Structure 1
Amino acid sequence: MEYNYIKALHLIFVITWFAGLFYIVRLFVYHAEAKQKPQPDQDILIKQYQLMQYRLWYIITWPSSVLASLFAFWMLYKNQGLLYVSYFQVKLAFVLLLYLYQAKCHQIFKQLQKNKVKYSSNFFRIWNEGATIILFAVVFLIILKDAINWIFGVIGIFVFSILIMVGFRLYKRIREKK
């Protein structure tokens, strides 16, 4: 019974962690677009986006990632056999990618807090799909519990990514026509 409570808490914090990652990059998009606005709109928008980014990052995203990780380690302590199962090892590789994704988001966050915009809003729109791809991979691995079929899942993720890119380009064309 205790294990199920730990698993439930882990899942709750994974969900809020992903919510934070999805939304922070959306705020990066808005921040980059605000740099193109005339004054005084630019200053007003950027100040507001920086505040929103700060609160989201330090009040939701980071605490959620830490708590999701703590509950994950607790579950692994309770069920150490998972470490020897191939699908779970692949899942851990994707979790490592998620940590790297968050580290890069943190680097971008710190730059934007200084109002140094090094990437375009289009880059951020594409970057936002990184967490989506990781989410798909992890969910399919955990539900299917199959390390062999994850290859088909990864192929599916790449096809999904290509479709996202095509959709992004179509959306960009539609926006440019307006």
Structure 2
Amino acid sequence: MLYTIIKAIHIIFMVSYFAGIFYLVRIFVYYKDTDEFEEQKKMILREQYVFMARRLWNIITVPAGSIMLATGIILIILNTGLLKTPWFHLKLTFLLALLGYHYWSWKKVLQIKALSFQSLPIENLKLRQANEIATLILFLVIFTVILKAGVIEYWWQLILGFLAFVILIMGTVKLVNNASKKKK
């Protein structure tokens, strides 16, 4: 029963963590969108976005990620057999990618705070595409956990499916970005 309760807590804080990381990168996009605004409006919005990013990072994303990590470690301690399964190794690989994304997001939070409300030195489209990386990692982790041994058996079909998914998302982001530019 204890294992199941900890697993439920792990899943709840995984959802909270991903909600935070999804919205955080949206805030970066909104911050970048203000580049073309008049100075007064730009400064007011950027001040608000910096405030929101810092609060989201410090109050939701990092605490939820910490609890997700702690409960994940406890689950491994309670079930060391996980470390012997190939699907779990794959999940850990995806979690390392998530750690890299988390680090990138943290650097962006520090960057917008330090810029004194200057423009982010990254293209808007790149930020919009970066916003989808967490979605991709979430898909990879969930499919790996649900399919377990099947993910190893059918790895090449899954990779092709995920590549198609990534291309679809990136293409959609580009189309939406181009459509919003034409409206301006």
Class of the TM-score when normalised by the shorter of the 2 chains: over 0.9
SS at match of 2:61: helix
Moved more, 168-177 or 97-106: 168-177
- Tell me, yes or no, if structure 1 residue 172 matches structure 2 residue 172: no
SS at match of 1:119: coil
**Structure 2 residue aligned with 1:143:** 146
**Structure 2 residue aligned with 1:19:** 19
Runs of 4+ displaced beyond 4 Å: none
Normalization by structure 2: what TM-score?
A: 0.93
Separation (CA, whole Å) in 1 of partners of 2:177 and 2:129: 12
Q: How many residues align?
A: 178
In structure 2, runs of 5+ residues without a counterpart are: none
Q: CA deviation at 1:151?
A: 3.3
Cα deviation digits, residues 117-156 of structure 1 (max 9, x gap): 1112211100011101101101000001122323322221
**Structure 2 residue aligned with 1:162:** 167
Contact residue 7 and residue 75 of structure 1 kept, 8 A = yes
Separation (CA, whole Å) in 1 of partners of 2:123 and 2:94: 26
SS at match of 2:37: coil
Amino acid paired to 1:16:
S
Change (3 A) 1:150 1:14: farther
Separation (CA, whole Å) in 2 of partners of 1:135 and 1:110: 24
The percentage of aligned residue pairs carrying the same residue is 37
Contact residue 34 and residue 46 of structure 1 kept, 8 A = yes
Moved more, 35-44 or 84-93: 35-44
In structure 1, runs of 5+ residues without a counterpart are: none
Amino acid paired to 1:77:
I
Tell me how large the CA RMSD over aligned residues is.
Answer: 1.1
Separation (CA, whole Å) in 2 of partners of 1:123 and 1:167: 13
Amino acid paired to 2:56:
L
Contact residue 140 and residue 150 of structure 1 kept, 8 A = no
Q: CA deviation at 1:35?
A: 2.8
